[in-house]
Amino acid sequence: MTLFARFSALILATCLAFPAMAMSLDAAKNALESAKSQGLVGETTTGYLAPVGSDQKAKEIASAINDARREAYEKIAEKHGIAVTKVETVAGQKAVEKTPSGQYIQVDEHWIKK
């Protein structure tokens, strides 16, 4: 096998492995409450989670949960014939309201411990 072929095979294998390295939705759901309690992720008024700091696991949790939320928001918007942004806004307001004290919410791009 030539050097080019080996290198190409390595690149292909790496690219195929990246989706497998992403956190699964189930794993993210299982880790979410702990991450919120530790102050690693918080709710935003846009209806999505965001990492409070730069923790990589927090980013992965937020990304997996947000992908599922985005899909759900799109289905709700389509079902009711409204804009996705309207669904996101309402969901964000509810999530912020339901956030227990001691956890983080993002208001005007600033993190606040509720």
Mean pLDDT over each residue of the chain, to the nearest integer: 87
Provide the residue range defining the domain that includes 61: 23-113
Identify whether 16 is part of a domain.
Answer: no
Work out how many domains the chain is built from and give that number: 1
SS3 annotation, 43-64:
EECCCCEEECCCCHHHHHHHHH
Identify whether 70 is part of a domain.
Answer: yes
Q: For the chain, give me the number of helices (H) and strands (E)?
A: 4, 4
pLDDT one-digit tens code per residue, 15-27 = 444 444 579 999 9
Q: What is the pTM of this model?
A: 0.80
pLDDT-derived band at 13, boundaries 50, 70, 90: very low
For the four alpha carbons of 94, 100, 101 and 104, in that order, the dihedral sign comes to negative
Q: How far apart are the first and last CA of the chain?
A: 60
Identify whether 74 is part of a domain.
Answer: yes
Identify whether 7 is part of a domain.
Answer: no
The mean pLDDT of 35-40, rounded to a whole number, is 98
pLDDT one-digit tens code per residue, 54-107 = 999 999 999 999 999 999 999 999 999 999 999 999 999 999 999 999 999 999
CA distance 111 to 98: 16
